[in-house]
Chains A and B, each alone.
Chain A
Amino acid sequence: MAEIRLEKLTKHFDEVRAVDGLDLVAEHGSFIALLGPSGCGKTTTMNMIAGLERPTAGEIYFDDFPVSGLGPEKRSVGFVFQNYAIFTHMTVYENLAFGLRMRKPRPPKDEIDREVRAVARTVGLSEQLERRVTRLSVNDLQKAALGRSMIVRPAIFLLDEPFSNLDASFRAYMRAELKRIQHEIGQTMVYVTHDQVEAMGMADRIAVMDRGQLQQYGTPDELYNRPENRFVANFIGSVLNNFLPVVPEASGAGVVVRVTGTGSKPIDVSDRKVPLAERAGAGLPLTLMVRPEKVRLVGPDADEALVRGSITAIEPLGATDVIHLRLDGADIRSVARPDAPLRVGDNVGIAFEAADVHLFDDETEHAIR
């Protein structure tokens, strides 16, 4: 077990700032996901933690011990690569035994054998031990890669998009397996992914990265309910999020915003601390975000309807339908039960709670709370 602490971690490749002043703490035995689009610096960060890349600046601590001077072989980390990096000229057994055989002094044969068989049972490869890895399925390759890293009992376990090549159902199975294994061995795990569903489902805390910088670090719940900025708000969520331009207006003692569209009603946002009142005077625009799951469809003339729109498409997902709506100014989406009596072309009222509204500064893209 170990705590990982990144301080001002920076990596430049010539002119490109792959990772830019990253501060992050992964506690003992926690499961952390590094989430972001490709090129956001998440893999470079992993490589620096593993020791495959040297940081340009900043420091990495394992339990308060600075490690950036150590080679990867001295760090006691396990690393599962996206393409598994299985040793193709060896059998499954030899792959699993590799880490133990590299130890100095080399452990006795029967001890290695015992460990290999134990790990093979854990990952479910007992039947395949003597096979050449070239004969394995992708799913078994994945298990072998996992087992090969587990056998040396690393203090820290790093996984770089390990499930991206698996078919969907096996991916779901491996996600559950990995959580179980992590629970059993209690290592600190860092998991790189671009799939927010994967990150939300597995990690205790998620670090969202974009263009080499940390955007937000928090629990899945925090990221979903309290996104720090527009990027995080957009990246988290399974259905395309709704972003609408609004202009704050003074209304009595408070401040309201209004979605452009037919029959638009004011939404009270007086509870936000940031100087909205001043902005209201200047008429500076903001962006409003409301998650599709929070958008309710009501009758066009209902009291609670904040604006009117028409249905342009219905996307059935089984458990729910995604309803695409057209307002005057923009397209938005809502999630409805499949049995709702809705048809393309219907005029509907769109309603949501003021508490579910996230406001973002158009200039800084930061959340206004």
Chain B
Amino acid sequence: MEAHNSQIEARQPHSRLPGFGGRDEKRVAKLLVAPGQLLLAFIVLFPAGVAIYIGFTGWSPTSGDDFWHAYRHWHWFDGYWEALTSVTFWEAMWRTVLITVVCVTVEAVLGFALAMLLVKNFRGRGLVTVFFLLPMMVVPAVSGFIFFMLYQVDGPVNGALSAILPGVVQIEWLQNANVAIWTVMTVDIWQWTPLMFLIFLSGLAALPEDQVNQARILGAGFWQQLRYLTLPMMKLIILIALIIRGLEAFKMFDPIYLLTRGGPGEATTNISIFLFDETSVATRWGYASSVAILVLIFVSIAGYWAIRPIERAQEETLEELAGAEARAAGAGPRIEEAIEAEAQI
């Protein structure tokens, strides 16, 4: 009994709410945060839940049933099976991956090169930097339309090429099935290289100058500095930039819709355009939902692999911080070591 009392006394000072002890306090805390958590759950879970639900049905808004009654069209995994066995779906996936890999790679290389050029100080650097950032600030609908005009067969791009090259250049930028997908990529590269550039510029500017200078003094040339110092130190930033841009490019919609609507034929149909066609044109919402869930699963797996190196890099950073702390705390015993070492001389 006595022991029990002392326990209560020991707890008393920690209780922040007078009148609520122990378990009661926890209950109050839970009640207080509940509304926020419910809202969050609603925002995240409700749409996902609806998508999963509809994904198991062959429901369409033109079927006469509202989506509550989609279960009347229940067919379990038929939608998923249809997607997995559909050539159109896999072609759209392949194009999506191609667009993502090419766009992100080109943007990263160009952005990095630009950042390397502009990280050094020179007259008018601010102005040049802003100039290179402009494409990013253009509304995608506008840039899409501009490029739509530029890439007409009798448009300015062919006009400019005709001026340089012999003969009249008449490339069918948007009409040729083999060319159109690359044309679409140029728009994304034009618009989003600046974002890469901006991220890399800030990363390069934050590199420890003394380490770079030390590497130069130790004889590292430009490429050696890049390979052994700049890239390893920028690893985390580069990974994050690639993931951000990768996810965006994977979902690319506006330039394709404005330039080719996924055509000619299906030559530029990526997964976004494919889903758009299934929902808006074919109104097969049940099928579109199954495809969307499938894509989500694929992206989640890819994302998991992409994020692992970031977590590892973060652990290293934490380790570094812990090391610095240990150094600050561990100075004491080392003094004695040093004194001993000195005494031996």
Contacts and interface: CB of A to CB of B under 8 A. Distances in A.
Interface of A: 50-52, 71-73, 75, 77-79, 81, 83, 85-89, 98-99, 101-103, 132, 134-139, 148-149, 152, 167, 169-170, 172-173, 176
B334 A139 contact: yes
Nearest to A133: B323
A6 B251 CA distance: 62
B280 to A, nearest CB: 49
B213 A79 contact: yes
28 contacts: A50-B217, A72-B217, A73-B216, A73-B221, A79-B213, A81-B210, A81-B213, A83-B210, A85-B211, A85-B214, A87-B229, A88-B208, A88-B233, A98-B220, A98-B228, A102-B215, A102-B219, A102-B220, A102-B228, A103-B219, A134-B323, A135-B323, A136-B323, A152-B218, A169-B335, A169-B339, A170-B338, A176-B345
Interface of B: 208, 210-211, 213-221, 224, 228-229, 232-233, 235, 316, 319-320, 323-324, 326-327, 330-331, 334-335, 338-339, 341-342, 345
Nearest to B216: A72
Given A85-B214, A87-B211, A135-B323, A73 B220 contact: yes
Contact of B213 (A52, A88, A173): A52
B interface SS class: helix
A310 to B, nearest CB: 40
Contact of B217 (A78, A132, A135, A172): A78
B322 to A, nearest CB: 8
A235 B209 CA distance: 31
A86 B213 CA distance: 11
B206 to A, nearest CB: 13
B229 A85 contact: no
B269 to A, nearest CB: 43
A102 to B, nearest CB: 4
Given A102-B224, A134-B319, A170 B334 contact: yes
Contacts of B218: 73, 98-99, 102, 148-149, 152
Given A83-B210, A89-B233, A137-B327, A73 B228 contact: no
3 nearest interchain CB pairs? A85-B210, A170-B338, A99-B218
A20 B280 CA distance: 75
Contacts of A167: 331, 334-335, 338
Nearest to B231: A89
Contacts of A75: 217
Contacts of A137: 326-327, 330-331, 334
Given A77-B217, A99-B219, A134-B320, A85 B338 contact: no
Contacts of B214: 79, 81, 85, 87, 148
Contacts, number: 106
Contacts of B233: 88-89
A138 B327 CA distance: 6
Contact of B316 (A85, A134, A148): A134
A269 B235 CA distance: 70
Contacts of B216: 51-52, 71-73
Nearest to B317: A134
Contacts of A101: 228
A247 to B, nearest CB: 50
Given A88-B320, A89-B232, A98 B215 contact: yes
Contacts of A136: 323, 327
A342 to B, nearest CB: 32
Contacts of B324: 134
A78 B324 CA distance: 26
Contacts of B221: 73, 102
Given A138-B327, A167-B334, 13 more contacts: A50-B217, A52-B216, A72-B217, A73-B221, A77-B217, A79-B217, A81-B210, A83-B210, A87-B229, A102-B228, A137-B331, A148-B218, A167-B338
A226 B218 CA distance: 40
Contact of A132 (B220, B319, B345): B319
Contacts of B213: 50, 52, 72, 79, 81, 85
Contacts of B316: 89, 132, 134
A149 B216 CA distance: 12
A79 B211 CA distance: 11
B329 to A, nearest CB: 10
Contacts of A89: 232-233, 235, 316
A348 B229 CA distance: 65
A154 to B, nearest CB: 8
Nearest to B208: A85
A347 B326 CA distance: 53
Contacts of B219: 73, 99, 102-103, 152
B162 to A, nearest CB: 45
Nearest to A174: B338
Among the interface residues B214, B220, B224, B330, which one has the most CB atoms of the partner chain A within 10 A?
A: B214
A73 B213 CA distance: 9
Contacts of B220: 73, 98, 102
A139 B323 contact: no
B277 to A, nearest CB: 47
Nearest to A73: B219
A257 to B, nearest CB: 45
A122 B152 CA distance: 71
Contacts of B320: 88, 134
A173 B342 contact: yes
Contacts of A135: 319, 323, 326
B326 to A, nearest CB: 8
A77 B224 CA distance: 18
User: Looking at B219, B324, B334, which has the most chain A CB atoms within 10 Å of its CB?
Assistant: B219
A351 to B, nearest CB: 38
B212 to A, nearest CB: 9
Contacts of B224: 102
A182 B323 CA distance: 31
